[in-house]
Structures are given as C-alpha cells and as structure tokens.
Structure 1
Amino acid sequence: MSLETFSTSEPLTLGVELELAIVNRHDYDLSPSSADLLRLMAKRKIPGDVKPEMTDSMIELSTGICRNHADALGQLTEIRDALVECAHKLNVGLCGGGTHPFQDWSERRIFNTPRFHMLSELYGYLSKQFTIFGQHVHVGCPGPDDALVLLHGLSRFIPHFIAISASSPYVQGTDTGFHSARLNSVFAFPLSGRAPFCTTWDDFGVFFEKMTRTGVVQSMKDFYWDIRPKPEFGTIEVRVLDTPLTIEKAAALAAYIQCVSRWLTVEKPFELAEDDYLVYTFNRFQACRFGPEGTFVDPKTGEHRSLREDILATLARLESHAIELKAEAALDYLRLELERHGNDATWARQVHAKEHLLPELVRQQCQRWSGELQID
C-alpha cells in the first residue's frame, strides 16, 4: 500500500478537534447518549462537524479551517452553544477534562461503526479504556517536507503542550498523582510515541512502505504518534493535549501552537537532529506527572529547568509572532493561567479538596464547559 499524496494547505492555518464526555445529570457518571446527541446535532448548521468516538459516552467536535485565534474561538463557541442546547434537550451534560474522574471502563460500549468494532477486536479492553478525551490541533503546511520539518521542530515543545493542557488527574475514582493520566492510556497502544526522524516525504515513504509490508499498518490512522502528518488535509496534527475545561482555553492552546509553528518556520531557531529525542520520553513523562513543575531537559544543551520556566521563556520569544497572528490575547490567557492555577488538573484537585466529591467536580466541569461558571 503506497503513501497518500500530501495535499497542500495554507501555511499556519488551524483546525481544532475536541473529544467530550457526555454525562447524566443525576450522579454525573458517563451517559451512553452519543447517538441521540448526534441525531439532534444533525439538524443544526455549524461551522465544523460533530461525530462519534470510540465509545458511546463521548463525541468529537471539529472546527473548519481557522486562520487565527479569534476565528478558532468563534467557531468553537458556535459549536459549543449548539451542543449544549441539544444536550439540555436530552437532560445530559457535556464536559472537558482528559479523563472522566470516576467512570468504570468495563461499563462502556463500543460505538456501532465497522472501524470501532475492528479496533475493539484488535485492542481488546484497551478500546474501552480509550474512553479518554483529547484536543488535537492541525497546522497547515505548504508541502510534505515542510510538514515533517515542522513536526520534528514542534516535538521539542510536546512537554510544554502537555503541561499546560493537563486536565486528567483522576482515573477510576483515584487521584493518580499525574497531571495528565490520559496519556498513560495512549502510551499503551503499540504504535504510539514519536514519529521516526524523517525530514523528507520520500524518506517517510520508504518507512511507510516498510511498515505496510509487515502488515502492521494499513494507513496513517494506524499511527497514534504524539504528532503525525495528515496528508489528506495537508497538515500535521498535534495529539498530546488533554481536552481543556473551556473553549477559551482550547482556542488559546491552538493559537499557542500556531505561534510556535510560525517561530520555527520563520526564525528556524533550532537545528533538527535525531539526538533531540534522547530526552524526549523523559521530558514527556515529567510533564505528564508533574505538569508545569516538572523538569525540562534542553535537548541541545542538557540544561535542566522547570517546565514553567521554559514555557514562560517561550511565550516571551513568541511576542512578535503573536502580534502577526493576532494571538496576543491567547498567550496572555495562558500566561495568566500559569500564574493562577498552573493548569486544569490543579484546578480540579483544588475543587475536590474543597468538595470531597468527584460528582460535584464533574458538575462544575459541565458548568465551565457551558460557560455558566467563570473562575477568577
């Protein structure tokens, strides 16, 4: 099977995908209501799309092509409002967060599509444990070689994206000690992790041909990498973010990735090398486990500093690019959150420490998603 032709797209355009939990309004456990919600949403005109996910207590929304932060926020707001209205008709709630804090994976049901059933047969119980919720951000690239260069440049910032977006401290009713426990579930899949170090589409085609020859891979969808090319869209797709608790943060995260992408493309501040990946798994773990307080090892110098320190330094370097992309408000949002809560995982722990009840945490997550609950 040959590799798809890489479509061209407008450089640095964005697409945002968000996986959401559907919960009942009695005890705020997951509700198997995706088919009913999708039926109602099919009657609504929205700028993007809403579709099923692996199990029937989750859905995925996606924007259309966005050119800047305001565009992404506008589209997400319109889709969110339509979803919330339809959810109210079904007496269910919607919320972000990388995991549902107390759902039992064994009670989940695979959504009825041939691909999901195929994956369930292949991966067994892991498929139901894949009832986790992430944000994916697509970045437009003018060509395939540019896409691979951007992919490897962005890989340096994977810990930053994880630490800022982390919103999954609880699994099966237990505080895991992680800021992003969701990514531990992703890492269980055999084709997860990082992409191979190829910087031309020809070299990547050789790798892809070898993988398909083994019979392990049939298409790009079979790779669960942290960042992967999406040739049919002409993009690279960043896949490590937990779904945040608000659309405002989702739009800000997308704009942050867009600004980093412009910096890498215009200034080329780093020379790419396979050795950059020597500390990749360590940095990734630190971000998942400790969030902004985790240790970041500079892949070039070997210097150790906190992720918070490196994120703030990166935000400062991005100022001119944020101005060009009209993303100043997005970076200010993330900078302020780092100073206040750090991330959504820390906020969730603060709520649980006060309320001592995980269903109450989920109720407030629903309020934050719908825009009813604003925090200082």
Structure 2
Amino acid sequence: MTGQELTVGVEEEFFLVGPDGRLVNQGPEAVAGITDVDLKPELLRCQVESATGVLKTAGEIRDELTELRERLAAGAAEQDALLIAAGTAPHAQPDISEIGPGTRYHRIARHVGPFIFSGMTCGCHVHVGVEDTATALRVANHLRPWLPALLAMSGNSAFYDGADTGYASARHLLWNRWPTAGPPPYMDSTDEYESIVNGLLDTGVAMDRKMVYWDVRPSEAQPTVEVRVSDVLGTVEEAAFMAVLIRLLVSDALRATDTAPRVPTEVIRAAQWRAAKGGRSAAVPDPVTGSLREATAVIGDLVRAHTDELRASGELDFVRATMTWLDHHGDGAHRQLEAAENSAGVDGVLRLLARQTSLSQSVAG
C-alpha cells in the first residue's frame, strides 16, 4: 500500500495562558458550544485539544489544522487567554491548575496524585489507518527504531518553569514519568499484546486501556496505529510535515516483507533521551544502519527514498519547502531560544508561541 492511499488523522493539545504567561483554567469554556468540529477540553482545565477528520494529503492536513487552531484561538480570546502550541508552558506557574471536566479525568487525578500537576505537557498524536490490531502491532514494531528521529524533529519545549531546560523537548522527560509511557516493547502477536496490557491493568498502574501511553500503539478508539512521540508542533506546517513522515513510515512497514529489527527497548529509550536533548541536530541511531547520524540526515534520506511517491501525491514541493524552512529557522525549541535571547527572555518566548500557533507560516509558499 502506498502512502497516498493511507488515511491520516492528527490530534493536537494546547495550553491556554494569560498575557503574563500564567495558565488560564478556561479550557472547557473556550470550546463550549462548538459542535461542528472536534474541539474538546483536556485532562487539565488549562488545556484544550483538537482532532482532524480522516485526511490523506499534506494540504488537507495543513488546511484543517489551520482552521482548528484558529477556532481554538478565537475561543481562547473570548476567555481573555492566548492559545499556545508548546510541549511545556514556558513561564513558572505559582498556582496549581484544575482538573478538566469528566469523571474519568477526576479518577485519573485521584489515582496519580499531585504529580499530575508538575508534569503538564502538550503533544501531537498522528493516527494512520490500518486494517486491525495485528497490523497495527506489526507496524509499531517497524516504527520503534524511528521514534528517536521523529522525536528529534519535533522538539518544541525548551522552557519550563520559567527557565531554559537545556533540552529541545523537556516535555519528553516530563511525560516519561508516567509508568506506562515510552517506547513499546517488541510484540510478536496480539496475544502477547493483550497479555502485557492486561498485566498493566492488573497492577493498577493503568486504570484503563487508554492509559497505556506508549509512543506508538494500536488505537483503542479506531482502527489506526497511533504515533504519539512528538511535542505539539509550533506551526501547522510542521505538524503536517510530521504527519506525512509518519504516513510514509507506516506505508513502508505495511510493504515490508522482512521482520522488523528487534532493537532493545532500553536502547530506543536512551536514543530518545539524546533526541530530546539535542533536537534536530541530535545524533540518533539510523534505523537502517544502526550508526549514529544527525536526525535531519536520517529524515532527509527517508524523504529522498519517497521522492516519486511524494511527487505523485503532489506533496514533494511542500515537504522540501518545509525542510528548507526548518534549516533556516530551526525547530520549535531553537526558535524559542532565539526569542528569549532577542526579546525579553521568557516573555519573548510567549509572544512567539502565541503568534505562530494560529498562523500558518506559509513555508510552502
């Protein structure tokens, strides 16, 4: 199956903040009454989430993400708040946020305890349609070695608690404090998958199947494989680019006739730390050769290997333009650091995030 035959959906999480950078607990109010698109509250009241429909091309993804972000930004403005796409809220937060509406969210908060407030993060989840759980697991096995490179390309959380963390993705470190987060184990069958999931449920670590938070997993809600390794991306262009990369990788996995490499989970986890530290310039294991290479080179090879496919789908110009734009402007974390250096520290970071979140950067012309 070629990538252009696959369907894609993208979920994005966002923070609501005031002009001073403090979190605003009006997420449910910001999306109240919006029923024609998929916008909803998140675990914490200072967060909101969007979900696209079932899409195929980069252009469709970019257009729908732009509309969803604009709708959310307008809803946030009605609550005197700014919508920002960042893996972590950059300012220090003296007050604890509030749990969002819904019985399940309150059950999770009671289960986890106060820790839930110290690791507030926002991610981007890409769903690609597959036939069934067995297929999703086979795809996940092939995607495991690619998780470090994908994480490196998405770093957008350089600041946390008012300070430069020294990481491109501080979100990754915070998120991986959840006991069920991180790269999934290699799984040979649906029986093995069910055994592991049931074991996590039996221990009480996961309250339900949705709390198995692996970086790539079969979705419990629809017939998709869900890749959830990324920070929420700063711009819609980057989010659409990430969705295309993941769609290409799923396409490769579906066509693969050989067994996926059994890279130890511990090695993948260590490589993800490198990716979270360095962002696009991080040296990560090349999924093909196993040698350390810069993440941008690994992703560049992936794109070149799919030149004909991307040209046939009409996405090649967009992909190339986005890569060139990233080369010139850097990933989200790099742009945050530049904003802090050039314009009033963390306040400058906030202004950058608010400006780029709901505005297409038109990197593809």
TM-score by length of 2: 0.91
- Contact kept in structure 1, 2:90 and 2:160, CA below 8 Å: yes
Cα contact 1:277–1:299 (8 A) shared by 2: no
Candidates 309, 314, 318, aligned match of 1:321: 309
- Tell me how far 1:276 sits from its aligned partner: 5.2
Instruction: Indicate the SS of the match to 2:272.
Output: helix
Structure 2: distance between partners of 1:269 and 1:257: 19
Residues 270 and 332 (structure 1 numbering): CA distance in 2 closer, same or farther, change over 3 Å? Answer: farther
For residues 354 and 231 of structure 1, the distance between their equivalents in structure 2, rounded to whole angstroms, comes to 44
1:217–1:357 CA distance, 2 compared to 1 (3 A): closer
Q: Which residue among 208, 218, 235 is the counterpart of 1:219?
A: 208
1:34 partnered with 2:27: yes
| Separation in structure 2 between the aligned mates of residue 370 and residue 299 of structure 1, nearest angstrom | 34
1:254 to 233, 243, 246: 243
Equivalent runs, 1:49-88 vs 2, <5 Å: 49-88=38-77
1:183 is matched with: 172
What is residue 148 of structure 1 aligned with on the other side? Answer: 137
Determine helix, strand or coil for the equivalent of 2:263. helix
Q: Percent identity?
A: 25
SS at match of 2:115: helix
Find the counterpart in structure 1 of residue 116 from structure 2.
Answer: 127
Which residue of 95, 108, 121 maps to 2:97?
A: 108
- Which segments of 5 or more consecutive residues in structure 1 lack a partner in the other structure? 1-9
User: Cα RMSD over matched residues?
Assistant: 2.4
Matched, 1:96 2:85: yes
- The 2-side partners of 1:216 and 1:126 are apart by 14
> Post-superposition shift, 1:337?
3.4
For the pair 1:45 / 2:36, whether they are aligned, the reply is: yes
CA contact (8 A) 2:90 2:162 kept: yes
The alpha-carbon deviation at position 132 of structure 1 amounts to 1.1
Q: Per-residue deviation at 1:215?
A: 4.2
Q: Which range is displaced more, 214-223 or 93-102?
A: 214-223
Task: State which drifts further: 53-62 or 314-323.
Answer: 314-323
Cα offset, 1:350, TM superposition: 0.7
Which of 267, 286, 306 does residue 279 from structure 1 map onto? 267
Give, as a single letter, the amino acid of the residue that structure 1 aligns with 2:42.
E
Q: CA deviation at 1:299?
A: 5.6
Residue 281 to residue 351, structure 1, CA distance change in 2 (3 Å): same
Deviates more, 1:108-117 or 1:320-329: 320-329
Unaligned runs of 5+ in 2: none
> Which runs of structure 2 are paired with 1:16-27 in the superposition (5 Å)?
16-25=10-19, 27=20
Q: What's the secondary structure of 1:59's corresponding residue?
A: strand
**1:340 corresponds to:** 328
Matched residues in 2 for 1:143 and 1:271: separation? 18
Tell me the SS of whatever aligns to 2:16: strand
Compute the displacement of 1:312 (Å): 1.6
Counterpart Cα distance in 1 of 2:136 and 2:350: 38
> Take 1:278 and 1:88, find their aligned partners in 2: how far apart are those partners?
43
**Structure 1 pair 29–367 and aligned structure 2 pair: CA distance change class (3 A):** same
Equivalent residue letter for 2:9: G
Query: For this pair of structures, how many residues does the alignment match?
Result: 361
Distance change (3 Å), C-alpha of 1:144 and 1:374: closer
The offset of 1:79, in angstroms, is: 1.6
Matched, 1:367 2:355: yes
